[in-house]
Chain A
Amino acid sequence: MSTLPVKREKSNKRKYFMEKLSGKVFLFCALLSVISLLLIIGFVFFKGSKPFIGEGYSIVDFLFGNDWVPSENQFGIFPMIVASIYATIGALIIGVPVGLFTAIFLAEIAPKSIAKIISPAVQLLAGIPSVLYGVFGLAVIVPFLQNQLGLIKGQSLIAVILVLAIMMLPTVVTVAETAIRAVPKSYREGSLALGASQIGTIFKVVVPSAKSGIMTAVVLGMGRAIGETMAVILVAGNSLIIPTSLTDSIRPLTTNIALEMGYAFGTHQEMLFATGIVLFSFILLLNFVLARISSKGGN
């Protein structure tokens, strides 16, 4: 008997082993994203729930309390929750119509030469680091509001709303444009053939058919707005009050974490994690809505 078959068998064995091993390694890499997500949720929730489980703080006082005075162990984040919600809704009211109309324009109306200018502009707008939006807001929008409205302090809810509306534009435009482009051509042809005008077709046929994609765009833009931190710090003004007017200075949830994390320790730090949980819950809620939308869109 020659040694050749034995050798071949050995090399085959090695090959099979490598095949099996590589499959396992690939699986592990893929599982790392699951592990990361679990670690993130686990650590943030563990740290943030400590004051309520071990130290006797009340969740109700935390969520609905009006006073945040860490030095006196008072941790109420209600004003911040309200501020975050107002700022997000305000940004949606401005950002969504502008973004959606830009998307419709790009997908349906724009001559190719103009679309060629706008699309890269939107892409660049998406790439600009968020800090720079804050710098722009502080140096341009804040003084503008101060002069126009005669405010003592230009850093306000309306300044945050304007900055966030600008920041959500690229998300809304890109996602909505994709959705509108995905509407089959036959829909448009059918509507035009029935004698509808181009604009009528867009608003009565195309946009309603792209509804679920457009909703996705809105929810994603919302996520971007509610989670934004550094740009918001610079223009929010940081007052711990429940805003009653657009010109009030505010402190949203995210800025509370970023501003105090640097020096907080003990219960104070855990309360910042609890603030993170509230923020996280908003995001999870949005993700849930998003999943509902996309499963509906599938039908």
Chain B
Amino acid sequence: MRKLKDLILLGLLWFAAFLTVAVLVTIVGFIFYKGIGLISFDFIFGDYSPSGGGGIWPMVVTTIYTIVISLLIATPIGILAAVYLQEYAKQGRMVRIIRFATESLTGIPSIIYGLFGAVFFVTTLKLGMSIIAASLTLTIIILPVIIRTTEESLKTVPQSYREGSLALGTTKLQTLYKVILPSAMPGILSGIILSMGRIIGESAAIFLTAGTVAAMPESIFSSARTLTVHSYLVTQEAGDIELAAAIGIILIAIILILNFSATWISKKLNKADY
């Protein structure tokens, strides 16, 4: 009797794992099956045409803009914030408040970020529906990710490195940028890669802050759509599953490349000699 119960539970465990993998295979398989027919050089690098049959280059460019701008702002701020929390701050109330705020930011759904971006960056700061408004919103979204991963990698830098450097008469600041940050670099890089994945996958917040203009953005102050928003709109408005899936292939390919490089970097991190 007990044996039978064990066997059933064991079967359920295998079944659950199988189900998880099957779901993934079905989704990815479906996206590739539906979209692969559209993928071509012209599709990726061709200009968009409202009448259909055009490429997605403007959306690729918009996506790249949002990634570059939000990383340019969030990376230095996030790294320095993590440095403060790990290296400078006395552990106490202040640190607790900052940690609580950072954690809370992680839990806020992206539609709320979108609402905030729409009222703060778009309306109050008068940036209008634009790439820059969306990028600033994204900056806040990825900030906790960069802070957390940087903190984790700062923790792995051995105390002896700091002591050795300080004993040589360097200042705290010199130790920081000559010794600590270089040793923490792989961890910081994988944080940046994680953030890129988050930005590429984001849609609701961008939808409310960058608008939906389907054209090559003239500048970062233009309204434009990213790949995810485009994928959503062609599904919602035109029911064009094939086009949405083709964009999906590009998105999944980018995510896969990012995942592999993150794994590769963290392997390097583990091999490093400390």
Contact = CB atoms under 8 A, between A and B. Distances in A.
Interface in B168-191: 171-173
Given A33-B101, A34-B97, A102-B16, A40 B107 contact: no
Contact of A229 (B85, B111, B231, B255): B111
Interface SS majority for chain A: helix
B201 A135 contact: no
Given A33-B101, A44-B116, A135-B245, A121 B20 contact: yes
Contacts of B17: 101-102, 105-106, 110, 114, 118
Given A27-B84, A129-B231, 4 more contacts: A26-B84, A32-B81, A43-B124, A258-B208
Interface string A261-293: 110000000001100100110010011001000
B235 interface: yes
Contacts of A32: 77, 81, 143
A138 interface: yes
B98 A124 contact: no
Interface stretch (A17-25, A54-62, A242-250): A17-25
Interface string A38-60: 01100110010000000000000
Interface stretch (B7-15, B36-44, B53-61): B7-15
A273 B119 contact: yes
Interface string B237-262: 00001001100100110011011000
Contact of A169 (B20, B85, B116, B236): B20
B105 A37 contact: yes
A140 interface: yes
B104 A132 contact: no
Contacts of B272: none
B207 A34 contact: no
Interface in B63-107: 76-78, 80-81, 83-85, 88-89, 97-98, 101-105, 107
Interface in A96-134: 97-102, 104-106, 109-110, 114, 117-118, 120-125, 127-134
Given A121-B24, A124-B24, A105 B14 contact: yes
B161 to A, nearest CB: 19
Interface SS majority for chain B: helix
A215 interface: no
Nearest to A294: B103
A33 B105 contact: yes
Interface of B: 2-3, 5-6, 9-10, 12-17, 19-21, 23-28, 30-31, 34, 76-78, 80-81, 83-85, 88-89, 97-98, 101-105, 107-116, 118-120, 124, 140, 143-144, 147, 171-173, 197, 200-204, 207-208, 212, 228-229, 231-232, 235-236, 241, 244-245, 248, 251-252, 255-256, 258-259
A60 to B, nearest CB: 23
Interface of A: 15, 18-19, 22-23, 25-27, 29-34, 36-37, 39-40, 43-44, 47, 97-102, 104-106, 109-110, 114, 117-118, 120-125, 127-136, 138-140, 166, 169, 173, 197-200, 203, 223, 226-230, 233-234, 254, 257-258, 261-262, 272-273, 276, 279-280, 283, 286-287, 290
A291 to B, nearest CB: 8
7 contacts: A33-B101, A44-B115, A101-B12, A127-B259, A135-B241, A258-B204, A287-B104
